[in-house]
Structure 1
């Protein structure tokens, strides 16, 4: 596990140092520099993400296409889903779009939670909050008969 984290950290190092965006290099984003996410390499296992969020996860689905675990916390419950390949995550997100809502999404993982919980979880595990809008497909036109 340590070697995976080390390799991932080394792979991310050039991205972190090369993308300054031309801003003043003396400015420091304290949120980013104090986050434990810096030391974590995604994609991660359900248990790793759960540990970062401070919950003891209960695995509810362990299939070839995904693993899901439920976290029960005083702030609310949330579902952590990981995928063996990015294509499975994209298919899952397409299916979730039917219901709409916001999800915290990272490389080969997603967290389903109440919207108010997503930003605090993002501060712990990274990722981006995606708003999946409900897409309605028009049905057949009513007949005039």
Structure 2
């Protein structure tokens, strides 16, 4: 059986195109968390339009993602009391004059997806971000969204809805 011939070494450095491509990928990855703070909103006619002025704190929450329970709580003007400290998630509860709510963070996206799948059997609304979830009433979630970003998701009680609810 013939052996494949080794490629001769040319002593060349990587091509300029390869270096440029690597730099572009690196720059894109660096900018990605900053662009995650932008959101899509529905206008009165029901058309989607991009939010033109994302809140600075929402961008900050995305940069530190996956954020700690304490960071998200601080952005919602609360000091969370940690209820669960496990390998799969951390959960804190916030008690304020306006609402009581849960903040849950996950070390990996798969844990968040499992948690959301389990929560699908209950009828509830959540503000979902990069490896974090806030559980509260819709009015509170709409109030938190400019500070922390994320998407409001309605669980119908039979599993997750097919699309995020407009907010």
TM-score (normalised: structure 1): 0.72
Aligned to 1:113: 136
* Structure 1 unaligned regions, length at least 5: 1-6, 17-26, 137-145
Runs of 4+ aligned residues of structure 1 deviating over 4 Å after TM superposition are 13-16
Describe the shift of the 1:121–1:28 C-alpha distance in structure 2 as closer, same or farther (beyond 3 A): closer
- CA 85–72 in structure 1, closer or farther in 2 if over 3 Å, else same: same
Q: Whole-Å Cα distance in 2 between the matches of residues 70 and 127 of structure 1?
A: 19
2:30 is the alignment partner of 1:10: yes
Q: Distance in 2 between matches of 1:85 and 1:37?
A: 20
Which SS does the other structure have where 1:11 is aligned? helix
Cα distance, 1:15 vs structure 2: 5.0
Structure (1 or 2) with the larger CA radius of gyration: 2
> Alpha-carbon deviation of 1:13?
6.9
- Work out which of the residue numbers 91, 105, 108 in structure 2 matches 1:68: 91
In structure 2, list runs of 5 or more residues that go unmatched: 1-26, 37-49, 160-167
Partner of 2:42: none
**In the alignment, is the contact (CA less than 8 A) between 2:34 and 2:59 conserved in 1?**
no
Normalised by the length of structure 2, the TM-score is 0.63
Q: What CA distance in whole angstroms lies between the structure 1 residues aligned with 2:134 and 2:111?
A: 14
* Match of residue 156, structure 2, among 133, 136, 144: 133
Q: By percentage of residues, which structure has more helix? A: 1
Tell me the residue number matched to 2:47.
Answer: none
Aligned length, in residue pairs: 117
Residue 124 of structure 1 is matched in structure 2 by 147
